[in-house]
């Protein structure tokens, strides 16, 4: 029985993989949180990997506090770059299949057309820089690995935009949401299924892939969809990013082109509204 190790087990994606795992009993699933896999302690990480002896690694663990990363650069790079390098090196030595999760934040947001895997990277914040460094190290140490860049992740689990909007729309009469950052959300359950589909596929095609739900929207439009499905009475206004300053800059445009992953693995990617509706069922 093949053993799948999932890092970042308590995060949104790890939790969705956990929810799906019972449908795939042909694998032995190991869901590792910080107590089982130490992404910030490399001696420990090495011995943990050697102890677990996985056949497949889903590296969903990451430092994801985008604003905090600006003042915790060393820790962000340790987890998002150096730990990835170590995992990739281990996976090469032990011939382990590795799927590593990355982000649309490797781009600067200056594009006006959907971004391809080969589009120029140019991160504008520390989080994006650390994730790009992780991608480069991953492919250098293990050219056979698969990297999936995703964006605007939400889920029934953890903290995310959808949950925040649901709460605010019930608490307040009026909220404002930025309307000049464009992309597409990713329902973590859809991405989790896509990862399993890749492992289940008879082919393994290494490299970088993009994955998000279909549709091109702003955060404001996303909020309007949440209002619609939740049937909330809260008034939602659109504002420019300049009216909502954050510590770390966000890319203004990070819509991902998914043609490559759809063609390579015959994936059917749902529209964002189709997936968002599931949160409200």
So which residues are the catalytic ones?
127
Place of tokens 């095609």: 205
Contact 99, 59 (CB under 8 A): yes
Widest distance between CA atoms in the chain:
57
């Amino acid at each position: 029985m093949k053993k799948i190790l999932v890092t970042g087990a308590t995060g949104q994606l790890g939790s969705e993989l956990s929810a799906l795992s019972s449908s795939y009993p042909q694998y032995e699933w190991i869901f590792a949180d910080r107590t089982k896999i130490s992404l910030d302690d490399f001696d420990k990480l090495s011995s943990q990997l050697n102890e677990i002896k996985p056949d497949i690694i889903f590296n969903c663990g990451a430092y994801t506090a985008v604003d905090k990363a600006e003042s915790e650069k060393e820790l962000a790079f340790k987890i998002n770059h150096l730990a990835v390098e170590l995992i990739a090196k281990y996976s090469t030595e032990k011939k382990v299949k590795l799927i590593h999760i990355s982000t649309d934040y490797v781009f600067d947001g200056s594009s006006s057309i959907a971004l391809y895997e080969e589009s120029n990277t140019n991160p504008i914040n520390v989080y994006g820089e650390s994730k790009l460094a992780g991608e480069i190290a991953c492919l250098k140490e293990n050219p056979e690995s698969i990297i999936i860049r995703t964006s605007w992740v939400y889920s029934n689990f953890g903290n995310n935009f959808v949950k925040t909007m649901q709460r605010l729309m019930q608490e307040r009469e009026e909220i404002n949401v930025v309307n000049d950052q464009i992309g597409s959300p990713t329902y973590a359950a859809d991405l989790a299924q896509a990862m399993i589909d890749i492992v289940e596929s008879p082919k393994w095609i290494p490299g970088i892939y993009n994955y998000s739900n279909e549709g091109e929207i702003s955060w404001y439009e996303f909020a309007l969809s949440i209002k619609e499905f939740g049937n909330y009475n809260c008034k939602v206004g659109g504002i420019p990013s300049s009216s909502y300053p954050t510590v770390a800059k966000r890319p203004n445009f990070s819509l991902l082109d998914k043609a490559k992953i759809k063609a390579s693995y015959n994936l059917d990617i749902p529209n964002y509204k189709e997936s968002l509706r599931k949160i409200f069922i």
